[in-house]
Amino acid sequence: MRQPQPDWLSERVSQDHVADYKPFVFVDGEGVRCSLYVSGCLFACEGCFNEAAWSFRYGQPYTPDLEDRIVADLGHESVQGLSLLGGEPFLNTNVCLRVVARMKAECGTTKDVWAWSGFTFEQLLQGSPDKVALLEQLDVLVDGPFTLAERDLTLAFRGSRNQRVLDVPASLRAGGAVAWSSCRTAVGRRVAP
Ligand code: SF4
């Protein structure tokens, strides 16, 4: 595994490509979700579930047409939110910030945003401005690299025990990682588990 530095700017490596887009999925976070898989990751975790997406040119360019489709899908009443996966979303912040901004402009606060990153919350908080900007848009972050020695297939939303599922607004308020522990019975309304 490599360790890209959190102050590396996304714009130096990203080609604004996406490996895949899947609407109406049930496995990439809570509820029904629209999942965008961006292309390019520098962590090179042993046992990575999506090695093909390590290349920043894998897949196809992110286009306005794809963005229109994603936002239209997100508008369905049954969809709880957007999931950003990779590749590494925080090395593709241009794409991720664009789609999140468009979603929030058209859906307001009715949808949530989850992201998966090889960086930890603490690294992102000290990272380049684009990383902090994306972090501030999230509701939930699944953080840390996949570690084969800590693989646990029974975990929800993550593949290894070192990874954490974090409540991002609560973590930002606290200035440190706060575990995600809420669930939603309806879009936009949080209740205790
Ligand atoms: S951070 Fe995620 S996408 Fe990147 S190599 Fe590790 S498991 Fe694969």
- For residue 190, what pLDDT is reported? 43
The structure tokens listed for 127 are: 């990272």
CATH 3.20.20.70 fits 10-191, yes or no: yes
Task: Give the position, in ligand 1's atom list, of the atom nearest the Cα of 47.
Answer: 7
Residue owning the nearest CA to atom 3 of ligand 1:
87
**Ligand 1 centroid distance, CA of 106 (Å):** 31
Task: Give the position, in ligand 1's atom list, of the atom nearest the Cα of 44.
Answer: 5
Residue owning the nearest CA to atom 8 of ligand 1:
48
Half-sphere exposure of 85 (CA within 13 A, CB side): 22
Spatial separation of the C-alpha atoms in residues 164 and 171, rounded to whole Å: 12
Residue owning the nearest CA to atom 2 of ligand 1:
118
Spatial separation of the C-alpha atoms in residues 158 and 180, rounded to whole Å: 13
Read off the pLDDT of residues 137-150 as tens digits, 9 standing for 90 and up: 999 999 999 999 99
- For residue 182, what pLDDT is reported? 66
Read off the pLDDT of residues 93-118 as tens digits, 9 standing for 90 and up: 999 999 999 999 999 999 999 999 99
What is the residue type of 108?
G
Mean pLDDT confidence for 183-189: 41
Tell me which of 17 and 186 has the higher pLDDT.
Answer: 17
Q: pTM of the predicted model, to two decimals?
A: 0.93
Instruction: Write down the domain spans for the chain.
Output: 10-191
Residue owning the nearest CA to atom 6 of ligand 1:
45
Pairing of strands 79-85, 32-38: parallel
Within 6 A (CB) of ligand 1 lie: 41, 43-45, 48, 50, 86-88, 118, 145-146
**Ligand 1 centroid distance, CA of 77 (Å):** 31
Percent of the chain with pLDDT over 70: 94
